Amino acid sequence: MARWPPAIRSVRAKLLLVLLPLAILLPALIALIVYWGNAAYDRLLIYKINAELVIAHQYLERVIESRLQTLTGLARSAGLAAAIADRGSASRYLATAASREGFDFLGLVDLGGNLRATSTAQPVGKPLGYWPVVAGALEGKAAAGLDILQPDVLEEMSPELAARARLRVIQTPSAAFDDKLLEARGMIVHAAAPVIDGGGKIVGALEAGVLLNRNLDFVDNINSIIYTEAALPLGSRGTVTLFLDDVRIATNVRMFGAAEDDANQLSGPAMRGSSSEQIVLRDPTDRSSHGDRALGTRVSLAVRDKVLGEGKVWLDRAFVVNDWYVSGYEPLRDSFSRRIGMLYVGYLEAPFSQIKRNILASIIALFAVIAAVVAVLSLRRARAVFRPLERMDATMGAVVAGDASARVGSVGSEDEIGRLSLHLDRLLDTLDARSRELRELNAELDQKVVGRTRELAQANEELKAAQQKLVRSEKLAAIGQLTAGVAHEINNPIAVMQGNLDVMREALGSRGEIVGTEIRLLDEQINRIRLIVTKLLQFARPDEFAGYVEEVDVNAVVSDSLVLVRPELRKANINVRQELQGKARVRINRIELQQVLINLMVNALYAMESGGTITLSTADWREGVHLRGVRIDIQDTGCGIGEEAIGRVFDPFFTTKKQHGTGLGLSISLSLVDRYGGTITVDSHIGEGSCFSVWLLAEPLFNTSPDA
């Protein structure tokens, strides 16, 4: 790594470079502030438009709820009850009530969901029970929401109502392609309430609707609530629109210069796009009827896809005709939960942008003034600072180089830097003395600690190994002498018994068939005693039974051992699973290894009286990257070994089996494996089975100690 030139690395240069932030960091800081300011400004506008969209949504909900409350009161009124009783006057009553309460239509529906009386010209008997609000009312629950009426239904109700709903569709740039020229459907506030007789029984439902097409009072009221004089800066203006699908059916957006964001074509995720839409009025009839409101114009394809297509809320800024607007759209759903239109609010962004520019300009000017003041003060103070600091630096450099006597001396200044130089000299004096003392003490202490620690660790290891070896050697030596004597004493009578049994068999001849079973039983038991004696001798004098060493494939030995015990495993209903993945070969006596494995398999068999599974697995034994040998696991699903017994399983004559074995199998197996420098470990829990692991070195380290 290249080093800075000495002139640049000096204190003088660094003090003078204090002005560097004014030249480099200040523009970067200003750019960062502008970036953060723009981001915060965007979030503020999005937050504001989102809050306004929530207010508009709540107003719409209040309108729907108000209509439902009015209808519920009408359904419970005595006048309706009297009109129902006088069947001939029901329709007249509904027409009067609709005009009085501000409904565009009222209808009385019977329990079958069919129209029985109406304020319009709809035919009696028409089924209306498919409407969710009507179905809910017939079940006793008043309900209201938005719904769409088809042109034929509106025409059937009233030609005047159908005419109010009918809007000429104005093809709008950036909108989705559609050759539809007329929107004749009607969006209504649809409500229904149960009609209950004097006995508390539901006798029908009262249905009502308010057409929202051309309902300019609705959007004007929302606009007056949200965009009061204090809600927007001078020069901004707010707009509200109600869409049926993507067509404006009620709006305060003007056709020239005051429309909301109809062409939202964004180049980035939020508040970073551009869109435009030229809305040009071509029908003077529409314009004269509704001023210059943009009824019949369509929303842009981008907004339509996100709000109507994906059902998401649109919150963003967009360029409309000749200016930027911040806009918010949310989908509207009918009583069937289908997306049928959108609710929009928006306001002109230009006044907010001007405020932002003024704030950023003020911040930049403030930074410029601060930078100028700091530059002057820094230059004046630099001269009084860098000279004493250079002397201190030279002194510290000399100390680091090994000159413990180097000192700063007087710098001719009585300020903080002068006092600092005096304190530094005193500190160097004290540090020099303490350093010498500490170095001497640390060196002596470290030497003592290292020596004592090494001696203690070595003594502990030697003591532990000696204790273990002594205990095992004494135990095995005592047991070996005992077993050798017992085996010798038993062999003689066994030989006599076997010889006499053979003589008796010859003497009896054919008459021996009468006691053939007893003779065969005697042969088996004598042979069993002989095997026990052989095990005792093998335990007492293992060197006499040692075989020759050869390189073996442990996977093959495992498979061969399994063949010998498989008949017994089948009788005991025990399954065997093999996972032989060990690759390394080991040098060991093949017969002795097979004896160890068979003994462990038989022990696993006895541990599973009701059947189970034995898993035989092999794997390479590695320590880090070094291959040491092979590990063989014999795992069963038997009863497991308790904590009090697991530490004694390798002791001679210790057994957990009441009816099987002599307690020598595991002890002999451990001795055989230990002879080659390996070992056997066990992991067992009551009720979970046991796993015996045989660890074999690739190259044996023959153990000639007495306990091997």
Q: Please name the residue that has the structure tokens 């009072």.
A: 217
* Average pLDDT of the segment spanning 136-141: 94
Strand, helix or coil at 254?
Answer: strand
DSSP-assigned letters across all residues of 442-468: HHHHHHHHHHHHHHHHHHHHHHHHHHH
Pairing of strands 574-580, 612-623: parallel
Q: Which helix (H) or strand (E) holds 586?
A: strand 586-588
Tell me, what's the pLDDT at 257?
42
* Rounded Cα–Cα distance for residues 210 and 216 (Å): 13
Strand, helix or coil at 637?
Answer: coil
* Rounded Cα–Cα distance for residues 2 and 57 (Å): 65
Residue at 31: amino acid letter: A
User: Does 674 map to a domain?
Assistant: yes
Q: How many CB atoms lie within 10 A of CB 132?
A: 17
Query: Which one, of 298, 311, 294, lies nearest residue 246 by Cα?
Result: 298
3-state helix, strand, coil in the chain (%, to 5): 50, 20, 30
The tokens describing 543, both together, are 């060197």
pLDDT digits (tens, 9 = 90+) for 240-254: 999 999 999 998 887
How would residue 407 be classed by pLDDT, with cut points 50, 70 and 90? confident
Backbone angles phi, psi at 401, to 5 degrees: -75, -10
Query: Which one, of 657, 542, 520, lies nearest residue 595 by Cα?
Result: 542
* Average pLDDT of the segment spanning 27-35: 77
* Average pLDDT of the segment spanning 48-65: 92
Tell me, what's the pLDDT at 366?
81
* Rounded Cα–Cα distance for residues 195 and 90 (Å): 13
Does the structure show a pLDDT above 80 at 334?
A: yes
User: Does 172 map to a domain?
Assistant: no
Does the structure show a pLDDT above 90 at 696?
A: yes
Q: Please name the residue that has the structure tokens 């002795």.
A: 592
* Rounded Cα–Cα distance for residues 633 and 67 (Å): 80
DSSP-assigned letters across all residues of 267-311: SSSSS------------HHHHHHSTTB-TTBB-BHHHIIIIIIT-
User: Does 82 map to a domain?
Assistant: no
Which residue range forms the structural domain that includes residue 565? 546-697
Tell me, what's the pLDDT at 227?
84
* Average pLDDT of the segment spanning 636-654: 81
Print burial letters for 157-173: b (CB count within 10 Å at least 16), e (below 16).
Answer: bbeebbebbbbebbebe
Find out whether 598 and 565 touch, Cβ atoms under 8 Å.
Answer: yes
The dihedral formed by the CA atoms of 684, 688, 690 and 695, expressed in degrees to the nearest 10: -70
Residue 55, exposed/middle/buried by CB under 10 A (0-12, 13-18, 19+)?
Answer: middle
Q: How many CB atoms lie within 10 A of CB 154?
A: 26
User: Does 108 map to a domain?
Assistant: no
User: Does 564 map to a domain?
Assistant: yes
475: Cα separation from own chain's centroid: 58
CATH code, domain with 623: 3.30.565.10
User: Does 599 map to a domain?
Assistant: yes
400 vs 105, more confident? 105
CA 339 to each of CA 244, 312, 561: distance values in angstroms, whole numbers, following the listed order = 10, 11, 74
Find out whether 301 and 329 touch, Cβ atoms under 8 Å.
Answer: no
Find out whether 188 and 149 touch, Cβ atoms under 8 Å.
Answer: yes
* Rounded Cα–Cα distance for residues 69 and 37 (Å): 47
Tell me, what's the pLDDT at 256?
47
Find out whether 274 and 318 touch, Cβ atoms under 8 Å.
Answer: yes
Q: Which helix (H) or strand (E) holds 610?
A: none
* Average pLDDT of the segment spanning 284-306: 71
Find out whether 361 and 376 touch, Cβ atoms under 8 Å.
Answer: no
User: Does 188 map to a domain?
Assistant: no
* Average pLDDT of the segment spanning 394-400: 77
Does the structure show a pLDDT above 50 at 284?
A: no
Strands (E), 597-660: 612-623, 626-635
pLDDT digits (tens, 9 = 90+) for 489-541: 677 787 778 777 777 877 887 777 787 777 877 877 787 677 666 666 655 55
Share the mean pLDDT of the chain: 80
Strands (E), 487-562: 550-552
**DSSP collapsed to 3 states, 98-152:** HHHHCCCEEEEECCCCEEEEECCCCCCCCECCCCHHHHHHHCCCCEEEEEEECHH
Tally the domains of the chain: 1
* Average pLDDT of the segment spanning 292-304: 86
User: Does 630 map to a domain?
Assistant: yes
